[in-house]
Amino acid sequence: MICAPGGPALVSWNVTLRCPLKCAHCYADAGENEAEGVLSTDEAFSVIDQIAATGKPVVVLSGGEPLLREDIFEIARYGTERGLVMAMGTSGYLLDHETAERLREAGIRSVAISIDSVDSQRHDAFRGVAGVWERAVAAIKHCRDAGIDVRINMTVMRPLLADVEAVLALGESLGVRDYQVFFPVETGRARGLGAGSPGEYETLIREILVRYRKSDLRIRPTCAPQFRRIADEAGIENSGWSRGCLAAISYCRIYATGEVTPCPYLPVSAGNVRTTPFHEIWYNSDLFSALRDPDRLTGKCGRCDYRTTCGGCRARAYRGADTVPARWCDGLLRPDDPCGEVSREDPWCRYEPRSIDRTDLAILDALQDDLPLVPRPWAAIAAPLGITENELLARMQRLHVSGILRNVSPVFESRRFGLATASLIALRVPEDRVREVAGIVNGYPEVSHNFRRDHPYALWFTLAAPTEDRLDEVLADILARTGISGEDVLNLPTVQAYKIDVRFRLFEEDHGPD
């Protein structure tokens, strides 16, 4: 299936670069002065309209300090009225009881407040202003009293490595169950600050996993894509953990002046909302398209078995490139463009991809047999092989990204499910709209096998429905939403289905040593 996303799930928006604090790690290098050319109130409303055109994502109003914008409540209220899930990221320094009530009235659903240490002096020193810690703790209480969900954001850097456990305990005492642990990239004021070594990084991730096992806390790592791999190695499952690096996959950042970047730590512009609609940037940017394609990854990230679930930190890969200048890039990945450095291997990852072994061959044999009709079929396949379900899935992922295992697709007798009619549909789609149209088509549950072809009829997909009338309704709705003319459609109904059962045994042969 074509790698075309739906709309973003999360948009972080630096609504201002003004801030009363002087945080040592600030990626935005925020301070007393506002950015030149910051979006006006009317432009902010336009941005919200543009975001809403892609779906109903969570929009985090951030900064700088977002509460310094006089129109912040208007912006939050307008986003709420447009159906977006509005949230805020703040230091808590300006958040008193009255402000919390106004945020609730404006529709803010959740607030993330930064606490980096239980030692108030250490926290204040890191944030650059005395009294910040006490105000942050008070802000948590004000938000909870106002009925606003609270998340604690903690930044993990070498001076604060020992404080993670204590901050989690403090949050629990305040009634907070949701935490975001930031592993910062050395950008902005964080350059040279000491984000920790790769070894310290992985050790801390394992410690967080141990803490996770002991409680029902919701702990979400940020800029730590290896978290998924380390969790798999430890046998810890959590369906709430998303893919490793989300930049341009389900997440992006809007800068104070309207530039859209994959994430706050990767200052490479894919376009500006003042000149290009947000949905065009999201769906059609060359930069975003490249970040969505794991085949563009190079180095060990390109051959890694976790490249589609981790992907490495693209911002660290970019920062690790000696040729990258401190400037906005145009988002075009030309061979001589330093923006192409986003596809390099992540210098913070210690994992070395593995080669194929006998267990892999046995797995490939087992996958050619019938899928067990049990609640956990992967566990049933893994047991006779002497491995765990997690190891089976991890090995399958590695075989997939290495090109050995192309896909695992169940074959259903659709008529037994009540899908009495099916048709192969081909759409004539302009090149510059393929990703946008594919994203719309992929949203229909009646659609499967959506492929892109190098042909005027660029998209080919299967439609299945209980009746011909229902199939026609779905196709008509797709055409209406995409604006594709009926003259640009091939509708090829299924007349007779043929299924061929072919098996290639691998493990039974003598393949020599592992």
Give me the amino acid identity at 153: N
b/e sequence 221-255, b meaning 16+ C-beta within 10 Å? bbbbbbbbbbbbeeeeeeeebbebbbbbbbbbbbb
Domain with CATH 3.30.70.3460 in the chain: 415-493
- C-alpha span between 352 and 358 (Å, rounded): 19
Among 3.30.300.20, 1.10.10.2890, 3.30.830.10, 2.60.120.260, what is the CATH number of 355-411+508-514?
1.10.10.2890
Can you give the pLDDT of all 514 residues of the chain as single tens digits? Answer: 334 468 899 999 999 999 999 988 888 888 888 888 999 999 999 999 999 999 999 999 999 999 999 999 999 999 999 999 999 999 999 999 999 999 999 999 999 999 989 999 989 998 999 999 999 999 999 999 999 999 999 988 766 667 888 898 899 899 998 988 888 787 778 676 665 677 777 888 887 777 777 777 788 888 889 888 888 777 777 645 667 888 999 999 999 999 999 999 888 889 999 999 999 999 999 889 888 888 888 888 887 878 888 889 998 888 754 433 333 333 333 334 444 578 888 888 888 887 677 888 899 999 988 889 899 999 999 999 999 998 899 888 878 766 688 778 777 777 777 888 999 999 999 988 998 999 999 989 899 888 898 889 999 999 999 999 999 999 999 999 999 999 999 999 988 877 777 778 876 554 444 4
- Candidates 182, 204, 186, 205; CA nearest to 195 is 186
What is the Cβ-side half-sphere exposure of residue 197, based on CA atoms within 13 angstroms? 3
What's residue 78's pLDDT?
98
pLDDT digits (tens, 9 = 90+) for 246-258: 899 999 999 999 9
H-helix or E-strand spanning residue 154: strand 149-155
Give, in order, the Cα–Cα distances in Å from 277 to each of 117, 249, 432, 440: 41, 18, 14, 17
Among 3.90.190.20, 3.30.70.3460, 3.40.190.10, 3.90.730.10, what is the CATH number of 415-493?
3.30.70.3460
- C-alpha span between 234 and 209 (Å, rounded): 8
Q: Cβ-count burial of 185 within 10 angstroms (0-12 exposed, 13-18 middle, 19+ buried)? A: buried
Supply 470's token pair: 């229902």
Pair type for strands 251-254 and 218-222: unpaired
Domain with CATH 1.10.10.2890 in the chain: 355-411+508-514
